[in-house]
Amino acid sequence: MRRTHPEKGFTLLEVLIAVFITSMISLGVWQVMNTLVNSREGIERVSGAFRDVQKTVSLLERDLLQAVKRPVKDAYGERLPALTSRISDAKLELTRQGWRNPLGDKRSELQRVAWEYDELEERLIRRYWPVLDRAQNTRSREQELLENVESVEVQFRDTNGQWLNQWPGDSGDSSGFAEAEGTDVLRMPMPRAVEVVIDHERFGTLRRLVALGEPMAMGPQVPPMGSQGSGDNGDTGDNENGEDDE
């Protein structure tokens, strides 16, 4: 009679070794996948921040290049120069042209914008108004453009080639900020160039120098300050960001 041998199975030691090897392989695969995912997320964060920088610089340059010599009135009826840095909380405030109106609303194609730096939250903000000459109930709209901003500095080059920290310059010089009552802000000059220096936590110092040349003074097609035409009083419709293509 033929003798059969019992089937041979795995020993406990062999099972433990197999489990250990499988665990090591799985751990290695997980570490590789986790590294890839973290790297991708890091690249997306950096690329997103870089896109924000590009958008901010492009919008800043566009505002300056499209600046026009159109003074405005603030909510209290005070006259403001077409371009100035002497507004509380604003590094720069100006009137620009080229505000698209795809819906054909009854409003001006000029836009009043202000660039502000929030030191507490380290962010750069662009503020704009739906009208030029504001009333006390006119509300501005805010665009948060850039985070992790450590500082913002703006300088202005006058007609004499001098760089000024404020615009218009101190009263008494050729580009003085006339504070006397009755002064015609229409006669205040525009700077020849504006330099903006942004210190960013990740990307370091961002410097942009924009030559304004001779900014165009708006003609009769623009209503005078305080008029009721061209949507210069009261809120009007606009696109989501109040800008051309943002």
Instruction: Say what the pTM is.
Output: 0.67
pLDDT score recorded for residue 195: 95
Query: Which positions of the chain have pLDDT values less than 70?
Result: 1-8, 102, 171-186, 213-246
pLDDT score recorded for residue 149: 94
* CATH fold for the domain made of 49-211: Pili subunits (3.10.610)
Nearest CA-CA partner of 84 in 75, 72, 100: 72
3-state secondary structure of 25: helix
Structure tokens at 234: 């009261």
pLDDT score recorded for residue 16: 84
CB-CB contact of 210 with 62 (8 Å): no
pLDDT score recorded for residue 174: 37
pLDDT score recorded for residue 153: 95
Give the list of residues 6+ apart from residue 20 with CB closer than 8 angstroms, or none. Answer: none
pLDDT score recorded for residue 171: 52
